[in-house]
């Protein structure tokens, strides 16, 4: 064998996709991009036992919070690209913002999104004792009395960007609002429920637990929803003759590195089928519904499209989050 041929065969051995193999044949890891108890963590743990049944191997859940999911994203990219480590997170908008405003060295295309199963639009809501009954009166108060209105948001979230965008479109200086940023939705909700702030802009579905403390002012959507008795954002703004972009809220699901999909397309397909099959089960859907967790299947192609669209929209307004 010539040296050139030997080198070529060695290269093919290292990089050629694996054909049909026994995958998986050992435990798998689900790495959550946030701490325990949050929405991404609840989704992952709710799915883990069912995914274990589908894959036929134990599935372990670990949490790697920090830096707006940058810690977990770097961890995923540092792991072997063999399909045994799955990334479970709220990808939009947090992964996007780690790139646009967090100094991350990776790109959206470094990840391959298997499925977004939980879409959660945002809600703007006031503390029930704040006296604010509609969005125009809230914005007028921020404009006319600088520094008197306080709000809570999750740092880098769609709700954070929405508040900044509202002030910009209304011609209100950003410094007029006393905006408090938190690292988790639980902290931001506790602030508005307890009256430490006047209002919040945050995921609607995750706010069910504090419903009794809130006056909903607007949902960030094009149309009304059954869950909250509030107008869509641009309907709420009609008295002010204002219109803002309707930002996509949270998108949660599962991903791997794009290098993993390239090297092991059969394994990527096996993971996709396992998640799709899991979500097709009635007992799984009942379990997710009873815990207020989303469970739709949109698949890899649509998930990756949605992620790219989210990135492009946030790129337009990233200056508001700096």
* Residue ranges in the chain modelled with pLDDT below 50: 1-20
Q: What integer pLDDT is reported at residue 198 of this predicted model?
A: 98
Interatomic CA distance for residues 317 and 33, integer angstroms: 24
The pLDDT of residue 3 = 43
Provide the pLDDT for residue 38. Answer: 78
3 state DSSP class of 121 = coil
State the pLDDT at residue 120: 87
99-143: per-residue pLDDT in tens? 998 899 999 999 999 999 999 899 999 999 999 999 999 999 999
Tell me how far apart the alpha carbons of residues 264 and 114 are, in angstroms, rounded to a whole number. 14
What is the structure's pLDDT at 6? 43
User: What are the backbone dihedrals phi and psi of residue 82, each rounded to the nearest 5 degrees, phi first?
Assistant: -115, 0
Q: What was the pLDDT predicted at 8?
A: 40
- Whether pTM > 0.85 for this model: the answer is no
Closest CA to 156 of 34, 295, 18, 64: 34
Question: Residue 68: its pLDDT value, please?
Answer: 84
Give the pair of three-digit tokens for residue 64: 């790697």
């Amino acid at each position: 064998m010539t040296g050139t041929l030997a080198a070529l065969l060695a290269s093919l051995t290292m990089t050629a996709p694996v054909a049909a193999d026994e995958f998986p044949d050992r435990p798998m890891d689900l790495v959550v991009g946030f701490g325990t108890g949050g929405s991404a963590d609840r989704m992952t743990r709710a799915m883990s036992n069912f995914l274990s049944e589908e894959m036929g191997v134990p599935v372990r859940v670990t949490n790697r919070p920090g830096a707006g999911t940058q810690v977990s994203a770097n961890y995923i990219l540092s792991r072997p690209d063999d399909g045994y480590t799955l990334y479970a997170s709220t990808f939009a908008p947090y992964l996007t913002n780690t790139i646009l405003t967090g100094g991350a060295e990776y790109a959206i295309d470094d990840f391959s999104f298997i499925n977004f199963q939980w879409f959660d639009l945002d809600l703007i809501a006031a503390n029930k004792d704040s006296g604010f009954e509609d969005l125009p009166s809230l914005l007028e108060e921020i404009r006319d009395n600088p520094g008197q209105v306080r709000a809570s948001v999750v740092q880098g979230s769609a709700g954070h960007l929405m508040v900044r965008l509202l002030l910009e479109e209304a011609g209100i200086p950003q410094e007029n609002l006393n905006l408090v940023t938190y690292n988790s939705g639980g902290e931001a909700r506790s602030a508005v429920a307890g009256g430490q702030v006047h209002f919040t802009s945050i995921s609607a579905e995750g706010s069910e637990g504090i419903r009794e403390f809130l006056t909903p002012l607007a949902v960030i959507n094009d149309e009304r929803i059954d869950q909250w008795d509030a107008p869509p954002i641009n309907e709420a703004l009609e008295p002010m003759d204002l219109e803002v972009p309707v930002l996509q809220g949270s998108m949660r699901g599962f991903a791997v590195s794009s290098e993993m999909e390239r090297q092991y397309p059969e394994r990527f397909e096996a993971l996709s089928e396992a998640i799709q099959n899991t979500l097709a089960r009635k007992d799984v859907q009942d379990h997710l519904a009873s815990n207020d967790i989303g469970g739709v299947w949109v698949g890899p192609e649509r998930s990756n499209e949605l992620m790219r669209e989210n990135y492009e929209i946030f790129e337009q307004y990233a200056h508001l989050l700096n």
